[in-house]
A = this chain, B = another copy of it.
Amino acid sequence: MPDRRLRNRIHEIIFEADTPTGKFFDIALLILIGVSVIAVMLESSEEWNQRYHTLFFYTEWFLTIVFTIEYALRLYVTVRPLKYALSFYGIVDIMAILPSYLSLLIPNSQYFLIIRVLRLMRIFRIFKLGQYLNEGDQLRRSLADSRNKIAVFLFAVTMLVTIIGAVMYLIEGGSNDGFSSIPRAVYWAIVTITTVGYGDITPQTQIGQFLSAVVMIIGYAIIAVPTGIVTSEMMRGERRRKPLRNNTQVCRFCAKEGHDDDAVYCKYCGGRLNPEQ
């Protein structure tokens, strides 16, 4: 079965980064993705677009074709292509090429190509990936564990800014264009309580400024809350941390990652992992 061996070989190159060829492929891919993202960003600038319009046009289509071939190959070498197509990376990969084709029908839709930036997440697979994945995993778990507390907190903040906004609308609404409606006043309250403070809407009356000062002092005290939540959750996480070593193998059957170095079969679907690593 030369075809099978070819597919396994390609799978190893484009899905994994443990072999020199696989690593080279991933680095080249990352560079192309980076170039692509920068091209989309610069194309949106009138100034750059006028000067290099043709260049951007050809770069975009060249890269779209490259990524389309790569996507087709990924489908081809995976034993159950649908599993890959519906996995997180699979969805990102298709969304990274679709906008180019869509832009033939709908103008400006090529800007959705910016979604390609998500493909850069593959970067962790190349450089000391296990460690970084582990750190990222810890971060995600800490945030997930504090999800309920943060939900309660955000709900309380939402109610608070709604009421503050309505009160400020009543105080400032008449004399100040910035507070011309409650939604705008709520927007102001969020800008203030998060300490962003654009200054596009500011209180003008003395009582409005006094109330704003009170809101800021309150915001000063409650900005501590999410930090407290995440920090205490992280310190709890610290205690149960255990080292995790991963390699870059991806199951050919179900497209799941995170297999141990000595794993022979996929721990999720039982499929045999790529033997030629």
Question: Which of A115, A150, A180, A225 neighbours the largest number of chain B CB atoms within 10 Å of its CB?
Answer: A225
A80 to B44, CA, bound (A): 55
Q: Is the CB of B154 within 8 A of A132?
A: no
Q: Is the CB of B232 within 8 A of A180?
A: no
A37 to B163, CA, bound (A): 11
Q: Is the CB of B229 within 8 A of A232?
A: no
Instruction: Give chain A's interface secondary structure class.
Output: helix
Q: Is the CB of A162 within 8 A of B227?
A: no
- Hey, which bits of chain A sit against chain B, CB under 8 A? 37, 40-42, 44-48, 108, 111-112, 114-115, 117-118, 120-121, 123-124, 131-132, 135-136, 138-139, 142-143, 148-159, 162-163, 165-166, 169-170, 173, 180-184, 186-187, 190-192, 194-200, 202, 206, 209-210, 212-213, 216-217, 219-221, 223-236, 238
**Known A117-B162, A198-B202; 8 more pairs at CB < 8 Å:** A37-B162, A117-B159, A118-B163, A135-B149, A136-B152, A136-B156, A186-B213, A197-B199
